[in-house]
């Protein structure tokens, strides 16, 4: 496989903004959140496995996953999360690997909010963290999602700390200014990754 860049950051840090910029440079981006939704679509074996493990109540009348019911169940029985993860994580990983292999750009990006938390960084060669202060994360994420600052704060609290992510990342971009400032920091990294990708073959 070619050179794989992991791209991560907490909620509202600017991961999506960064991956959109890399896409404008012709770099293929695989989004772990998108894959996580794909593997539980109707007709996927992973959805059957979830139904077998939990019961028919996890499906809506139209056969789709009842996310709200499953979320409430996990809230009530926290150990159910492990059961769910044991079913979904290998499927997500297999699909990510397949999509990374199919990409034909000079290098390929795996963007994931839980790159380090779920050991997806084992699939990557190099990791870039988009980092911002918690205040900016809360401001940007709440104006994007319509969630309250308190809800965003809870999501941040459940994610790996900034310090831990900073310690695990190879490159760090601070996204606390204008969007153009983000792009101007990504450009030299992109040049570097192109060189790394050439040597990687």
Write out the E strands in 121-201. Answer: 126-131, 171-174
Stretch in the footprint of ligand ADP (CB under 6 A) among 10-18, 43-51, 58-66, 157-165: 10-18
Q: Given candidates 121, 126, 140, 165, which one binds ligand ADP under the rule CB under 6 A?
A: 140
Q: Are 28 and 108 in contact (CB under 8 A)?
A: yes
Looking at the Cβ atoms of 190 and 196, the one nearer to ligand ADP is 190
With binding defined as CB under 6 A, does residue 9 bind ligand ADP?
yes
**Of positions 11, 29, 40, 50, contacts ligand ADP by CB under 6 A:** 11
Binding segment toward ligand ADP, per CB under 6 A, in 14-22, 29-37, 52-60, 190-198: 14-22
Determine which residue in the list 3, 5, 14, 107 makes contact with ligand ADP, applying CB under 6 A.
14
Question: Cβ(127)–Cβ(168) under 8 Å?
Answer: yes
Positions in 15-34 near ligand ADP (CB under 6 A): 15-17
Asked if residue 18 lies in contact with residue 130, where contact means CB atoms within 8 angstroms, the answer is yes
Distance of alpha carbon 38 from alpha carbon 32, whole angstroms: 10
- The span from the CA of 117 to the CA of 1, in Å, is 23
CB of 161 to ligand ADP, least distance (A): 16
**Residue 64 DSSP label:** S
* Binding flag, residue 172, ligand ADP (CB under 6 A): no
Q: Where are the beta strands (DSSP E) in the chain?
A: 4-8, 28-31, 108-111, 126-131, 171-174
Q: Angle at the Cα of 34 (from 30 to 35), degrees rounded to 5?
A: 75
User: Which of these segments, 40-48, 55-63, 92-100, 172-180, binds ligand ADP (CB under 6 A)?
Assistant: 172-180
60 vs 4: CA distance, rounded Å: 37
Single out the segment in contact with ligand ADP by CB under 6 A; choices: 12-20, 71-79, 166-174, 187-195: 12-20
Interface residue list for ligand ADP (CB under 6 A): 9, 11-17, 140-141, 144, 175, 178-179, 182
């Amino acid at each position: 496989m070619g050179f794989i860049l992991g791209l991560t950051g907490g909620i509202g840090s600017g991961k999506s903004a960064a991956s959109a910029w890399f896409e404008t440079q012709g770099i293929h981006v695989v989004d772990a959140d998108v894959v996580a939704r794909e593997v539980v679509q109707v007709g996927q074996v992973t959805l059957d496995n979830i139904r077998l493990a939990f019961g028919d109540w996890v499906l809506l009348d139209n056969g789709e996953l009842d996310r709200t019911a499953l979320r409430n169940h996990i809230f009530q029985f926290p150990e159910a999360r492990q059961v769910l993860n044991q079913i979904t994580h290998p499927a997500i990983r297999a699909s990510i690997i397949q999509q990374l292999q199919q990409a034909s750009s000079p290098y390929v990006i795996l963007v994931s909010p839980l790159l380090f938390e779920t050991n997806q960084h084992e699939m990557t060669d190099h990791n870039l963290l988009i980092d911002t202060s918690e205040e900016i994360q809360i401001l940007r994420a709440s104006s994007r999602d319509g969630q309250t600052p308190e809800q965003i704060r809870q999501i941040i609290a459940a994610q790996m700390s900034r310090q831990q992510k900073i310690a695990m990342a190879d490159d760090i971009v601070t996204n606390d200014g204008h969007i153009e400032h983000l792009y101007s920091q990504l450009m030299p990294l992109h040049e570097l990754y192109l060189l790394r990708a050439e040597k990687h073959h």
